[in-house]
Amino acid sequence: MPELPEVETMRRGILSIVGGKVTDIAKPPCARRPILLAPGIAAFRRRTVDRKVTAIDRVGKRVVIVLTGGDRIVLEPRMTGLVLVADPPTREHLRWEMSLAGCDVKKVWFWDRRGLGSVRLFSEREFVAEFTTSGKVGPDALVIRWQELRDRLAKSRRAIKVALLDQKGVCGVGNLYAAELLHVAKVHPETPCDALSTAAWKRIHAAMVDVLQEAIRYEGSTLGDGTYRNALNKDGGYQNCHRVYGREGELCRTCGKQEVIRIVQAQRATFYCERCQKPKL
């Protein structure tokens, strides 16, 4: 599932469309499970054609295309969605197409193998209501300060790994990067939030920023199924840097002495090193 680094890579991959004018919006023929597309294609086209792209933003794990007049196209990859400017991996999984003029990129595609993603158009007021004032989306993981991270999560009795996945608390961290950052912070993933010390919260915050920024530099992680691709339909590189994620039974890359363990938390796989992440505060 694309997390903050992968989605930020998608955002950066389409920055060159800023200044371009939307000339058409299309829904390619697709016999697969349909994605959420709102409004319908006719209304979508009517509200966007002849508008210029003024900015490319990101809200957590969503790419946001800002148009003149304030409307925003929100592309949410979910499990297998991709935002592309190059030829897609397959044609049968294309879900949405935007044609442009006045910029180097002629088309932006949303591709989704499993059909769990969405493309939605919001007015400026609707966007603020959905993503700013509703409480559904917490502060971005690259913006939040350590004190706010602690204040938002420290009263919870949930395990810290599980709490980090709650997008209402902090937005952008998913299963892969939660495991990686807790390893860097030397925090056991099952530690209850309300048992963490101030020093531990500082380490978690610092590790979160460092790991996410490092992953962005490598353009995200392309795992064994090869689903995630950047906007040019190329692999990310951070999978080669994973310290614990997906490395069950292998020696920890940090200590070199203990095998990485896999457990299940909230129906998600967690990887950690017992030697580096002892259950202490």
Of 78, 214, 268, 274, catalytic: 268
3 an active-site residue?
Answer: yes
Of 2, 5, 77, 88, catalytic: 2
Q: Are 25 and 41 in contact (CB under 8 A)?
A: yes
Residue 215, phi then psi, degrees to nearest 5: -65, -35
Residue 265's contacts (CB-CB under 8 Å, 6 or more residues apart) are: 159, 161, 162, 189, 190
Residue 264: is it exposed, middle or buried by C-beta count within 10 angstroms (0-12/13-18/19+)?
A: exposed
61 an active-site residue?
Answer: yes
- Edge to edge, the sheet with strand 36-38 lists 36-38, 118-122, 72-76, 62-67, 53-59
Of 27, 61, 72, 113, catalytic: 61
d(CA 275, CA 253): 12
Q: Are 264 and 270 in contact (CB under 8 A)?
A: yes
Report the greatest alpha carbon distance in the chain: 61
d(CA 138, CA 172): 9
Q: Are 85 and 107 in contact (CB under 8 A)?
A: yes
275 an active-site residue?
Answer: no
Of 3, 6, 76, 180, catalytic: 3
Active site residues: 2-3, 61, 268
